[in-house]
Amino acid sequence: AQTVTQSQPEMSVQEAETVTLSCTYDTSESDYYLFWYKQPPSRQMILVIRQEAYKQQNATENRFSVNFQKAAKSFSLKISDSQLGDAAMYFCALILNTDKLIFGTGTRLQVFP
Amino acid sequence: EAGVTQSPTHLIKTRGQQATLRCSPISGHTSVYWYQQALGLGLQFLLWYDEGEERNRGNFPPRFSGRQFPNYSSELNVNALELEDSALYLCASSLAGRYNQPQHFGDGTRLSIL
């Protein structure tokens, strides 16, 4: 069975600082994609960043970057220069070629001014 | 471009009733996914529809069902509602047959069972 684990229920960071959210996963498949989604209080899930499993290079989207360690099945999200608008629930997700998206339980990020 | 739209925003039912939730995908998307987000449990995959057919199903009882219409919009039906069905139900859409494409989510329907 495939699983996604986010071991940090809550994290906090000061504005302009850097924070890293952890995610580990388990799958026997070799072909998959990993995503980080953000869910602000408005409820809508917003894609933050995605990573192809076959690519060794870590994905980057502006202030968001990932540290993808395939052998360790680890996929952490780094947010640099944190902003108040980054406060949200962050979900790590794994998708297989069955189109089934498996989510972690989320990490609530608070950003303090 | 309009995003994924879901209706109603909030739905209040009592135990034993039936609920119907609706979703309109982004134009050009033919795959629709349904997820249940219960408090403290993260998102659980419910159903995946593509080209009008059910392609995959999560670990939910048969009273959770749905369908996809020719215009690719979708309905989720929940029969014989139970208290534990109270949750946020999210719909997402993506390009067909492209599992590497990101799923775009709607704002959800909050289902409350009294």
CB < 8 Å to A101, chain B: 33, 35, 43, 45, 92, 103
Q: For residue B66, what pLDDT is reported?
A: 96
How far, in Å, CA of A102 to CA of A93, rounded?
Answer: 5
Report how many helices (DSSP H) and strands (DSSP E) chain B contains, helices first. Answer: 0, 11
Q: What is the mean pLDDT of residues B89-110?
A: 85
Is residue B84's pLDDT more than 70? yes
CB–CB contacts below 8 A, A to B? 58
Q: For residue B102, what pLDDT is reported?
A: 80
Query: Among the listed ranges A48-52, A74-78, B40-44, which one has the minimum average pLDDT value?
Result: B40-44
Categorize the per-residue pLDDT at A31 as very low, low, confident or very high, splitting at 50, 70 and 90. Answer: confident
Strand partners, A78: A20, A65
Tokens read off for A75: 């996929």
How far, in Å, CA of A95 to CA of A61, rounded?
Answer: 19
CB < 8 Å to A3, chain B: none
How far, in Å, CA of B4 to CA of B25, rounded?
Answer: 5
Q: For residue B99, what pLDDT is reported?
A: 65
Kindly report the nearest CA distance between residue B38 and chain A, in angstroms. 10
Is residue A97's pLDDT more than 80? no
